[in-house]
Amino acid sequence: MITDWKKLSPALFEKLCAAVLGKIGFVNIQWFGEAGSDKGRDIIAERTDCPVPGVERRERWMIQCKRYTQTKLSKSELKELLDSALEHTIDSLLIIVTTSVSANLRDWFSSASENYPFKTYIWEEIDFRKQVIKQKSELLETIPELSAGRDPLWLYQRDNIEIHLGCNEFEGVEIVVFNAEDIDEAKARASEFIRYLQANGFEWWD
């Protein structure tokens, strides 16, 4: 499955975003990409919110999909997205980006959002990617174009270490297995990881 955003066209990335949203509870999803973005909208969708038990509220969301391959999200672009969302009657604005967002930019966005009559959210690359991987099999059925090419692993730091598997040739490198019931299961999962790595390679996620 393609998870290298540079290999996806902007339209295909928007289609992927719409498909992922459908898997996590959004309904009445309207994707405008095929006909071109309409007044700044990439996707309009609805989601039911339950503020307290027994009370349901249907919210209207506007979703902007930003596939970055070299540049990153900026204050000026965020301001433009906020302003364009004013043209639509929405309860929430979600911005999906294929990059990380600095703490300073996130703080600025949170402060700037207070001047707008809707809630705002940013979905960073690592969290979006996790959802793509989680829904991998179903997404491939919906978007078969994603099956082309290799699917390299993305390695990143995690906490809550459980079982360490070391190597005598590389004393400073370990494989850490999470949620394994015993050492045999840890070894089996580590072996599967190594076979996958040999077949697909990997890229570092910053």
Mean pLDDT value across the chain: 84
**Predicted local confidence at residue 40, as pLDDT:** 57
Phi, psi for residue 54 in degrees, rounded to 5: 90, -5
* Average pLDDT value for residue range 98-115: 93
Per-residue pLDDT at 150: 62
Higher per-residue confidence, 158 vs 10: 10
Global pTM exceeds 0.85: no
- List, in order of start, the domains of the chain with CATH numbers: 5-147 (3.40.1350.10), 153-204 (no CATH)
